[in-house]
A and B are shown apart, each in its own frame.
Chain A
């Protein structure tokens, strides 16, 4: 049976190791946004041994490119983008201390293996629920690569941000488990 947890960032390995695929988590604290273009830059910095624009240890990276905020609001609509485009970068991020990713859609085996090896979690947020998810973000600040527009790296403060555990630290994959359960074979 799936459980519901409240977790506050930065995450610890105790936090991530208790989660199982299918659990629902409400996230609180700080998370960082990055899509393909920003990931490329971050991984280049890691490989060059240079300092990153934020502390990777225990961090959660949200794959999102929000709509522009209306005047007076921190952010516009902000649902997840499809994650496979980050597959080639995520293992490096996990290896260097990041413990969570939020996106939508399946990951490749290398990412799942990295989740197991480095105690990372791949969370799914509800794609297309951008208005709802945007409301769970209480502040947003561009901290790197403003030239990337919607793809710039942002520091977000979230309150009860709802996500589901897709890939846990044991190698489970909710997409496979869930689908197998409801698949009808003739």
Chain B
């Protein structure tokens, strides 16, 4: 697993893609943080006049984290699209599968490499909050839970993207399928106006579960939701890899 992990990580950073993705993501998050601080300044002015001080942890941080999560939806498919599609296209997957590695080791290596890149990306965004912390008091444990939410969300997104990538030898197809699937997942609660789905399955929308975590609410339901999604798609990816054995 370590061998595959190292190779994938090197591949991310030796191609310019990972650097560009991280840089652009940081740039956008930086913008958003800057603007929301300004907004927050206005809000707190108004709130002061009303006699009740505004709280950054209530009014500023959760929407900020949610937006960061939403942005991940656009960035992560670009990280996962090549994981298997490219190896399938070039034929290296055929060789890799004859190495003494299990399918689980191969996909764990790839998944952890992608997660590491996202982890780095998110770690850099913390600098924005450090600056914010100088302006207004922040509750770091609560913020930590928010970040855990983002990381879990990423795990689920990456697993889904990796599964899409394992289905095809075209990176583009993998990316499109991933965008489609993740967007569906995100807007599910918005679409399900009547609440019929929600009644039956609980809330399936990624947005709803992330929102809880951004507020610092550590509910097992939300953790289970993301972990289950990640596990499901990792499992499905393994099935796809094994499918060569019973096809034909």
Partners in one complex: no
